[in-house]
Amino acid sequence: MRNISLVVTLCGVLTGCSQFADRHIEYQQETPVSFPVLTALGAAPISAQQATDPTQRMLLAMRASKLEAYRELAERVYGQRIDSKNTVSAMIAQNDVLEASVQGVIRGARVVKSYAVDDTYVTELELNFAEVFATLQHTQPRQNIRSVRYLW
């Protein structure tokens, strides 16, 4: 019985002392070695736009080509989701459905060039991950623990 009370007392003293110990944690910034630069190209037909005025058709094609370039960047950054459904009856394909989608947020992309070629409007985008990293460091800094010191 005496041994049990000695063990309980010793455990209480050891855990009680640990509450008084403080610690000092040092953090360090983690920077990747290299940053990729992604480019994307978006194109849209001018004459197929739903407008009667040629200037408005041009503006709609500009917007559509820019959105297409952003979609391509999102595919490269986040990947593309593919959903497929096939129906076969009597060994004959009856119905084939294939859907593709992409979802993501692209920040920091810039328009490199925007121009018309014949009846197509083209937009070139660039996404420099060095700029994305710098932006994220201001909003959500990534840090690793450099060292931990316990102060008694």
> pLDDT tens-digit profile of 58-116?
999 999 999 999 999 999 999 999 999 999 888 888 888 889 999 999 988 999 999 99
pLDDT tens string 26-53: 777 677 788 899 999 999 999 999 999 9
Contact 28/144 with Cβ under 8 angstroms?
yes
- pLDDT of 136: 76
List helix spans (H) across 22-125.
54-78
Structural domains counted in the chain:
1
Has residue 12 been placed in a domain? no
Has residue 2 been placed in a domain? no
Has residue 59 been placed in a domain? yes
- 76, burial (CB in 10 Å: exposed 0-12, middle 13-18, buried 19+): middle
Has residue 123 been placed in a domain? yes
Has residue 14 been placed in a domain? no
Tell me which of 3-17, 50-64, 135-149 is least confident.
3-17
- Of the candidates 95, 67, 99, 72, the one whose C-alpha atom is nearest the C-alpha of residue 83 is 99
Has residue 21 been placed in a domain? no
Q: Which residue has the higher pLDDT, 117 or 29?
A: 117
Q: Which residue has the higher pLDDT, 20 or 83?
A: 83
For residue 49, the SS3 value is coil
Host domain of residue 143: 33-151
- Of the candidates 93, 96, 101, 52, the one whose C-alpha atom is nearest the C-alpha of residue 75 is 101
Has residue 53 been placed in a domain? yes
- pLDDT of 3: 60
Has residue 6 been placed in a domain? no
Would you say residue 20 has pLDDT above 70?
A: no
- 73, burial (CB in 10 Å: exposed 0-12, middle 13-18, buried 19+): buried
